Amino acid sequence: MAGAIASRMSFSSLKRKQPKTFTVRIVTMDAEMEFSCEVKWKGKDLFDLVCRTLGLRETWFFGLQYTIKDTVAWLKMDKKVLDHDVPTEEPVTFHFLAKFYPENAEEELVQEITQHLFFLQVKKQILDEKIYCPPEASVLLASYAVQAKHPACISICLPAFHGAFSLPPELILPLLAKQRLRIALDLSSAEGSRADSGEYGDYDPSVHKRGFLAQEELLPKRVINLYQMTPEMWEERITAWYAEHRGRARDEAEMEYLKIAQDLEMYGVNYFAIKNKKGTELLLGVDALGLHIYDPENRLTPKISFPWNEIRNISYSDKEILQLCIGNHDLFMRRRKADSLEVQQMKAQAREEKARKQMERQRLAREKQMREEAERTRDELERRLLQLKEEATMANEALMRSEETADLLAEKAQITEEEAKLLAQKAAEAEQEMQRIKATAIRTEEEKRLMEQKVLEAEMLALKMAEESERRAKEADQLKQDLQEARESERRAKQKLLEITSKSSYTPMNSSTTTLPADLPSFISESLSFDFKDTDMKRLSMEIEKEKVEYMEKSKHLQEQLNELKTEIEALKLKERETALDILHSENADRGNSKHNTIKKVHLGNVTTPVASASPQLGVFEMSGDSDGTGPDSRSSVTQEDMRTINPPTASCNVVRALTWQSEVEISTSDVGRKPMKGRQSQPSGISAFYNR
């Protein structure tokens, strides 16, 4: 009896000693926080605490992710935190990440903190090569990432979280109001840490010297290894784009980054490995637009897609990939409905905040311009003052030089007068000498004339003798030629005489005549006439709004710059280092395929053509994985025996049923006004696909 009482007391004491709280660590893209949670807390309680701490109201995009045995899973909101298969050691680590992605980031992401978290996560996925990005787009995104490191953040310290991180100034007040955190702000030290942390702002050649991006990770390693380019060459191209973003605030640069990234083929897609009954390995992709089937070697272009608006029902026996499907489908339907009162309020506040910031930026810009004009005016006055001082100094020096010059000129005038007297005396002497030389020159001229006359007569005599000698030489040549002709005539006469005496008869020569063609062919010219018809210009069907026109012009200019950059670096590409995704992207670009074209094709012909064309590929998909189907090795199955098709013009319903590792997912797509097919065949495991047309 006493032993039983003692054991009961020891058990109750142990029960009282069990801790009622546990520590969790929340890791965001740029911060770490620690909380003390109660044992009875559910996932929603912890998630709401994190969102309140960050001042985040757009909670439907995010979730808490944890890792167990190299497998990634998401925390369920309606389940206790400790009931999950989480690590036992404390603190328990969760990653606060975006679980669902918007279709249009500019329209759906309202709060600046939401945009900032998406920007950081998408940038990391691109740098880690989880999202494929072409080289030319990588350079443009890198320039926006540099512009986004704007000196608009204040470094704050949160002692309750045992860590430090950076938040924009407008997010500090919600933290103070909701969590009552003791925040130590030191603006002077913040300015110093800002310079050390590499925050850039607008491009300034005097500040951003060569090599200022050497320590930054801005491009995927695949892009760097693909081209024979040095880091300086990459920095030069990034800086050229960076200089064009002058005046953009941090939130604007981050939004431009997201607007470009959301057009990438792998943006926002969660991939799951699957197999059919034939053992063919495929990938199942879940994103904001629907469900897609991919070839494992080609994650860019889906083989078949099922948009959410054509998926009518999803049946299941366990919650494998169901959470992702439900979340994406709910967001898909929410986008196509009127905004709730909370969203309208957030958008209104965001518009007011954006207008306030815009007015503040304009005011700062005006003040900066006025300050620059005042500085320019001051510099101009100082320059003018210096110029006047220099002119006055030069005038004084010129006056002193003129006085010295007058004294010198007086001395020179006296010297010149004395020299003039000497020159006059020398001129008289020179005149006398000139008269004597003239007399001598007259005599010399007569002698020279006589000598020239004698030389002329001698030249005439020599010319006559040369002409006579030439005439006689010609006569001698003529006589020699006459003599040679006489001898030749004598030789021919002797030869003729011998021929006459030796021959008794001769043969007359035959004559032949040649006739020329009497007529020539005539040419007939042909005249050709061409009849060209002018085609009427097609009239524009509708007027394009001014904002869309500006956006198209900007997109065209941006595409031209991207094409120019791609052409510039194409010569430096190393073909042997191209990955399979690089080759697939190049082929898609050559064929003109893009993410938007693929989506358009899916919407135009998904009910008939994709299913018919993909039916040989789709059989039974087998999927295996963790508890919520988010692991990379999850498997599912889809059967081909249950497919039934009729002619495409009467297509009415498409059904996909999936059984996933003790679970079953059924996806049916149907047209309006048609009833879904009743009944389904059960399978022990796998995903079964039924197609009725």
Same domain, 402 and 444: yes
Per-residue model confidence (pLDDT) at position 593: 76
The verdict on 403 and 296 lying in the same domain is: no
Residue 613 lies in a domain: no
d(CA 350, CA 344): 10
**Does residue 474 share a domain with residue 394?**
yes
- Which residue, 497, 516, 535, sits at the end of a domain? 497
Check whether residue 261 and residue 142 sit in a common domain: yes
Contact 266, 300 (CB under 8 A): yes
DSSP 674: -
Decide which of 62, 84, 100 is a domain's last residue.
100
Q: Which amino acid is at 62?
A: F
The answer to whether residues 255 and 316 belong to one domain is no
pLDDT at 28: 92
pLDDT at res. 19: 63
pLDDT at 72: 83
Residue at 609 is within a domain? no
394 and 483 housed in the same domain: yes
Q: 316 with 446, same domain? A: no
Cβ–Cβ under 8 Å, residues 293 and 285: yes
Residue with tokens 């005149």: 431
In sequence order, the 6+-apart residues with CB closer than 8 A to the CB of 224 are 234
Domain that holds residue 280: 274-337
298 and 392 assigned to the same domain: no
Lookup: tokens for 434: 């000139």
471 found inside a domain: yes
Could you give the C-alpha distances from 683 to 403, 622, 660, in angstroms and in order?
Answer: 119, 11, 10
Whether residue 457 lies inside any domain: the answer is yes
Backbone phi, psi, residue 298, to 5°: -140, 95
> Is there a cis peptide before residue 169, judged by omega within 30 degrees of 0?
no
**Amino acid symbol at 249:** A
Under a CB-based contact definition with an 8 Å cutoff, are residues 84 and 39 in contact?
no
Is there a domain that residue 328 lies in? yes
Res 87: pLDDT: 82
pLDDT of residue 632: 41
The residue from 497, 524, 541 where one domain ends is 497
Name 37's bridge partners: 22
Mark whether 389 and 429 lie in a shared domain: yes
- CATH number at 328 reads 2.30.29.30
Residues 376 and 471 in one domain: yes
* 234 lies in some domain: yes
> Per the domain annotation, does 214 fall within a domain?
yes
Q: Are 213 and 138 found together in one domain?
A: yes
- Count how many Cα atoms sit within 13 Å of the Cα of residue 246 in the half-sphere of its side chain: 8
CATH of the domain at 57: 3.10.20.90
d(CA 103, CA 328): 10
207-221 residues labelled b (16+ CB within 10 A) or e (exposed): ebeeeebeeeebbbe
Q: In the chain, which residues have pLDDT < 50?
A: 1-2, 4-7, 9-17, 151-198, 317-318, 504-537, 607-693
How many beta carbons lie within 10 A of that of residue 557, not counting itself? 10
Residue 559 lies in a domain: no
User: In terms of domains, do 431 and 388 share one?
Assistant: yes
Per the structure, how many domains does the chain have?
4
pLDDT at 95: 93
For the domain that residue 128 is a member of, what is the CATH number?
1.20.80.10
In degrees rounded to 5, what are phi and psi of residue 563?
-65, -40
